[in-house]
Amino acid sequence: MPPLGGEYRPSTTRHRRDGVKSGTINMTYRYAFVLGRVYTLSLAELFFYFQNHGWTVKIVDISHEVLIVETDEQLEVQKIQRELGGVVKILKVLDEVKKKETDYINFALQNYFKPSKLKRDFLHNLKGKIQFGISVYLLDPELSAFGEPKRLGMFIKRAMQEAGASIRLVLPQFNSLTLASVVVTHNNLLTKGAEICVLASPTKLYVAKTLSVQDFEDYGRRDYQRPVRDDKQGMIPPKVAQMMVNFAGAKPNEILLDPFCGIGTIIQEGVLQGYKMLGTDINPVAIAGSEKNLEWFRNRYKISKGKYHVETSDVAEVSKVIEHLKQVGAFPQVSGIVTEGYLGPIYGEFPSPAEIKANFEQLTQLYTKAFQDYVKFLSKGAKVVMCLPAYKKGDSYIQLENLDFIKDIGYNLVDLIPNNLAESLPFLKLTDRATAIYDRKDQIVAREIIIFEKL
């Protein structure tokens, strides 16, 4: 991964996968990916996704809100949106407009949004009452754009009304600069109108049109409509599970293992991504819940049989399960591991130093046995994507400091974002060991997302 503005060439071999339209392309395309709340994880997922698909992209601009890339591949945006847990929207960047540092955004664009251009590039083939929304994303945290969405929106609305169009404007609420995915969806902006986005830096503005938004309703369905839930122990959100599956870098139809599968969230997300999934858990009650959830999932999403298998097993003996499945001709080779793992007790109040120490000692013993067993069936280069507990105290976290016990077994720690790129992006929130933490408001036990690679 190069410094900002260079090309990201993840491999010397170009691979065309389902996310790219085939055929000869003689032009370049610019896309913008709007990042989720935990933007460091969102960016990491994107970089792994580019690498997994063998795409060469040039990073045009980047911030904690949005990544703009240029590629000679025309992307199948709807498919890519479904496969990325950390990307809120995908935009097509249509133009780049110069701007003086002292100019307001609306002033710099005063001659840009003409009715003919709006009809051609944003509101093409729309009849009847047209609706559109405005979002402004900042590429520099020092920029101020307060009130800009309304000013831009009213300018566009007046221009279209003067051209004879019947038009309705949807604006961000509560002093926000951007429209949430739910607002875009509920106002039918992608089917009966458009969301016009301006991506602002001090000296240039990128004008873009939203092509897709995250399907929040489907993520909610996959989380809350399952027959079995375990709110007491806490459950990994489907979005985060999906991101972790992408970190594994497996090829379609390869087999991924979750040896702490619980009620099956990572299993379902892996299957939905096109992998065969194997799940084990020491708790037979969890396995029973997983089976119920996965049967519901298979019927709801029309998943063919044979895409997953779950059974009860101690994590230190999961190699025996795999060996048995090999002997009967099922799930012969595990390509990687994706698991939330065991995070220790769930706390309502911050634990004492003694409790934290005891938890870390227990986890060290557990994962020593687990990683020793993984060696028996993982191939060189296989990834282990997992969570470790990070105890949140104010703005800081207490983490398991020493991971040498895993490295000594035969694994490397993988940077979540390559070091040469991370050094050029000071806004990233990475730990000292180049991992990232996913947490929620008022949560004491957060998840440190970490990747190991077998030597």
Taking only Cα atoms into account, the Rg of the chain, rounded to an integer number of angstroms, comes to 24
- Do 282 and 375 share a structural domain? yes
pLDDT confidence band for 367 (50 / 70 / 90): very high
Name the DSSP class of 392.
E
- Do 386 and 263 share a structural domain? yes
Residue in the block written with tokens 């991506």: 199
pLDDT tens-digit readout, 262-310: 999 999 999 999 999 999 999 999 999 999 999 999 999 999 989 999 9
- Do 157 and 100 share a structural domain? yes
- Do 47 and 123 share a structural domain? yes
Residue 220 located in a structural domain: no
Residue 415 located in a structural domain: yes
Gap between the Cα atoms of 194 and 218, Å rounded: 22
Residue 202 has pLDDT above 60, yes or no: yes
- Do 244 and 293 share a structural domain? yes
Residues shown for the chain? 455
Q: Take residue 361 and report the two structure tokens written for it.
A: 């000692």
More confident residue, 81 or 229: 81
- Do 172 and 75 share a structural domain? yes
Residue 146 located in a structural domain: yes
Residue in the block written with tokens 């003409």: 114
Averaged pLDDT for residues 403-421: 96
**What is the tally of structural domains in the chain?**
2
Residue 304 located in a structural domain: yes
- Do 257 and 186 share a structural domain? no
Gap between the Cα atoms of 127 and 140, Å rounded: 37
pLDDT at 61: 97
- Give the range of the structural domain holding residue 190, as residue numbers without chain letter: 7-214
Gap between the Cα atoms of 189 and 210, Å rounded: 9
Q: Take residue 196 and report the two structure tokens written for it.
A: 């016009």
User: Is 248:383 a contact under the CB 8 Å cutoff?
Assistant: yes
**Which residues contact residue 107 at a Cβ distance below 8 angstroms, ignoring those fewer than 6 apart?**
none
Provide the CATH number for the domain around residue 263: 3.40.50.150
pLDDT at 234: 64
Residue 23 has pLDDT above 70, yes or no: no
Residue 1 located in a structural domain: no
Provide the CATH number for the domain around residue 23: 3.30.2130.30
**Which residues contact residue 173 at a Cβ distance below 8 angstroms, ignoring those fewer than 6 apart?**
none
pLDDT at 427: 95
Gap between the Cα atoms of 448 and 437, Å rounded: 4
- Do 201 and 297 share a structural domain? no
- Do 142 and 179 share a structural domain? yes
Looking at every residue in the chain, the average pLDDT score rounds to 91
Asked which of 192, 214, 236 is the last residue of a domain, the reply is 214
Burial bucket for residue 12 (CB in 10 Å: 0-12, 13-18, 19+)? exposed
pLDDT confidence band for 28 (50 / 70 / 90): very high
pLDDT at 24: 46
- Do 208 and 129 share a structural domain? yes
The closest alpha carbon to 36, from 339, 429, 432, 444, belongs to 429
Gap between the Cα atoms of 384 and 127, Å rounded: 52
- Do 160 and 13 share a structural domain? yes
What single string gives the DSSP state of each residue in 340-357?
--------SSPPPHHHHH
Half-sphere exposure of 67 (CA within 13 A, CB side): 27
